[in-house]
Amino acid sequence: MSRSILVPHDGSAHAQAALRYAIETFTDARLVLFHAIDPFEVSPDQEAQLPPLTEEWLDEQQAEADDLFEAALADVETGGATIETDSAVGSPAQTIVAYAEDHDVDAIVMGSRGRTNAAEFRLGSTAELVVRRASVPVTVVR
């Protein structure tokens, strides 16, 4: 049975580095490129409020996730790796951990922004929260 590796991706260069690492390291595994659709994420020009969680909003978010997956995969040499994509709505760290548990993944490989401010890292890092809460090994790629 091949291993299943979850690779969360938020569109950042750090997530892309983690995807490259996972492809190069887990050549015989099934990789799941995953995007957590954060309903609380707002751009600087928006108010911090929960968007209307309508079917239209979800369709838009899924289309953006599909674009993210397409761009991420276009930028890497997959070398014949088995890569699937999936997404779910929720707070990123909680959603990543829940997905890993619900889908019996063997490990998680994710990027880290590598912030230098210890307090900022401790309080705001999705990677740190996943490391603390996941029941499977987590590799954080800088």
Asked if 107 and 87 touch (Cβ cutoff 8 Å), the reply is no
CATH code, 82: 3.40.50.620
The model's pLDDT over 75-119, given as tens digits with 9 standing for 90+, comes to: 999 888 899 999 999 999 999 999 999 999 999 999 987 555 554
Q: If we measure between CA atoms, which residue out of 35, 38, 36, 32 comes closest to residue 107?
A: 32
The model's pLDDT over 9-40, given as tens digits with 9 standing for 90+, comes to: 999 999 999 999 999 999 999 999 999 999 87
Quote the strand ranges of 3-101, DSSP E.
4-8, 30-37, 82-89
Q: What per-residue confidence (pLDDT) applies to 85?
A: 98
Confidence bin at 136 (pLDDT 50/70/90)? very high
Q: Which domain holds residue 58?
A: 4-141
Number of domains, the chain: 1
Element (H, E) at 111: strand 107-111
- Is pLDDT at 124 greater than 60 in this prediction? no
Q: What per-residue confidence (pLDDT) applies to 120?
A: 46
Asked if 111 and 14 touch (Cβ cutoff 8 Å), the reply is yes
